[in-house]
Amino acid sequence: RKEVEQDPGPFNVPEGATVAFNCTYSNSASQSFFWYRQDCRKEPKLLMSVYSSGNEDGRFTAQLNRASQYISLLIRDSKLSDSATYLCVVTYYGQNFVFGPGTRLSVLP
Amino acid sequence: GAGVSQSPRYKVAKRGQDVALRCDPISGHVSLFWYQQALGQGPEFLTYFQNEAQLDKSGLPSDRFFAERPEGSVSTLKIQRTQQEDSAVYLCASSLGTGGTYEQYFGPGTRLTVT
């Protein structure tokens, strides 16, 4: 079983839709959590960190459930420019980033 | 300011050739990471440097892979006797501090194709 798993995707949604991505991780000794975004043939870029209390940045909301070892990302009012692959990232004390396989999102006009 | 740069951006190598991939991190960034990304997959960790010290090389797939950062800035990932399974995008990332709470900034990657 992989350390970090994500919804397999792809997700094809119309503009304006709300879409949610799920991520689970297997190692309970986790430190930090992030969502990165990767456009086709580009490098990953930080979208947002994920805090225990949950956090929101505009149309994006991230939630963390440590007990269930589960992270989510909600995108409201999807835009065409949101089309990308979303990577869930988990880090451990003294260790490095472990990336999930990514979930591809296509927002359709 | 300048981001992370990598060169070459594309490399085609014949099976059995040696290749060297270069990474220039953001100036002042202590940590440097190398990842391998296969098509349709997330980046897989290869190795980590804190300044010039290679603290973790557990992700290097074989002893054909070697990385160095001799002066704590530029890093080189070398692959000897390339094989077809080495074909992937090699990403370099740097971060300001150490530990898992700092954002990693990625370079554009080197796309390696082994024929």
Q: Is B33 on the interface with A (CB under 8 A)?
A: yes
Comparing alpha-carbon positions, the chain B residue that sits nearest to A97 is: B100
CA dist., res. A83 & res. A85, Å (int)? 7
CA dist., res. B59 & res. A49, Å (int)? 24
> Is the CB of A46 less than 8 angstroms away from the CB of B104?
yes
Write down the pLDDT at residue B99.
72
- When mean pLDDT is compared across A5-19, A87-101, B83-97, the lowest value belongs to A87-101
Residue found under tokens 């991939």: B21
Contact at 8 Å (CB) between A3 and A98? yes
Given pLDDT bands bounded at 50, 70 and 90, which one contains residue A8?
confident
CA dist., res. B61 & res. B28, Å (int)? 29
Residue-wise pLDDT tens digits, B22-79: 999 999 999 999 999 999 899 999 999 999 999 999 999 999 999 999 999 999 999 9
Give chain A's length. Answer: 109
Write down the pLDDT at residue B98.
82
> Is the CB of B106 less than 8 angstroms away from the CB of A32?
no
Chain-wide mean pLDDT for chain A?
92
Given pLDDT bands bounded at 50, 70 and 90, which one contains residue A9?
confident
Residue-wise pLDDT tens digits, B66-98: 999 999 999 999 999 999 999 999 999 999 988
Residue-wise pLDDT tens digits, A31-71: 889 999 999 999 999 999 998 888 999 999 999 999 999 99
> Is the CB of B56 less than 8 angstroms away from the CB of A96?
yes
CA dist., res. B101 & res. A87, Å (int)? 16
CA dist., res. B44 & res. B8, Å (int)? 20
Given pLDDT bands bounded at 50, 70 and 90, which one contains residue B6?
very high
B19-24 and B5-7 beta bridge pairing: antiparallel
Q: A107 is written with which tokens?
A: 């927002």
Write down the pLDDT at residue A94.
59
Amino acid at residue number B75? S
Element containing residue A75 per DSSP (H, E)? strand A70-75
